[in-house]
Amino acid sequence: MRFRSAIAGAILLASGASSASATMLISEDRGGQIGQYLQAFASLRSSGEHVVIDGNCFSACTLVLGLIPRERICATSRARLGFHAAWMPDDSGRPVTSPMGTQALWNIYPHKVRSWIGRHGGLTRKMLFLQGDELASIVPSCGAPSKVAAKAATTKVAAKHSKHRALPRIVRYGTASAASTSR
């Protein structure tokens, strides 16, 4: 993980990009191991980058809400977050709920997210989906997805850093200069 993060950082620096002016796009991320996301989002938080959620962000991906400052994150109308209890495989490979992992998730989520989860039955094996107006009441809106994507594509070319960064278990991320002014 650290090696990949170092390589991603080196690519970003070599491309002449300023991490403080970059935007990370999240789309179609189905989650993964909590520890990998904690480390990836801690690095992202330190980078100063903004985050745009434009599509599915499920499971451990939702930790972005507790690890990135609210003023540096926004969601498009296409954003959909999925929350569930943490689990790990037992000796036969079957999923077993992890009370410790679930508590870790709970402790990281901001108060508004915990309140929403609580009103919808809590963290269980069943996925809870946060989207639309309910999501907009928790995460600032960053405008229409087509405008965000078009602006990100334009600024990628202008900034000459169109390389995609792949953080472990985090799917379809890309960097670009600030994609929206409505954060």
- pLDDT (tens digit, 9 = 90+) per residue, 118-157? 999 999 999 999 999 999 999 999 965 445 444 444 333 3
Question: Does 13 reside within a domain?
Answer: no
CA distances from 105 to 79, 84, 92 (A): 20, 9, 25
Question: Does 41 reside within a domain?
Answer: yes
Question: Does 112 reside within a domain?
Answer: yes
Question: Does 140 reside within a domain?
Answer: yes
Question: Does 1 reside within a domain?
Answer: no
Question: Does 142 reside within a domain?
Answer: yes
Residue 21 — very low, low, confident or very high, per pLDDT cuts 50/70/90?
low
| Residue 5: pLDDT over 80 | no
List the domain range (segments joined by +) for residue 125.
Answer: 28-149+160-177
Strand 128-131: give its sheet, edge to edge.
Answer: 56-58, 80-83, 128-131
Residue 35 and residue 60 in contact, taking contact as beta carbons nearer than 8 Å: no
Question: Does 10 reside within a domain?
Answer: no
- pLDDT (tens digit, 9 = 90+) per residue, 83-128? 999 999 999 999 999 999 999 999 999 999 999 999 999 999 999 9
Radius of gyration, CA atoms only, the chain = 16
- State the pLDDT at residue 22: 78
* Contacts with 97 (C-beta within 8 Å, 6 or more apart), sequence order: 85, 86, 87, 125
Q: Tokens 């994609």 label which residue?
A: 179
Percent of the chain with pLDDT over 90: 64
Total structural domains in the chain? Answer: 1
Question: Does 84 reside within a domain?
Answer: yes
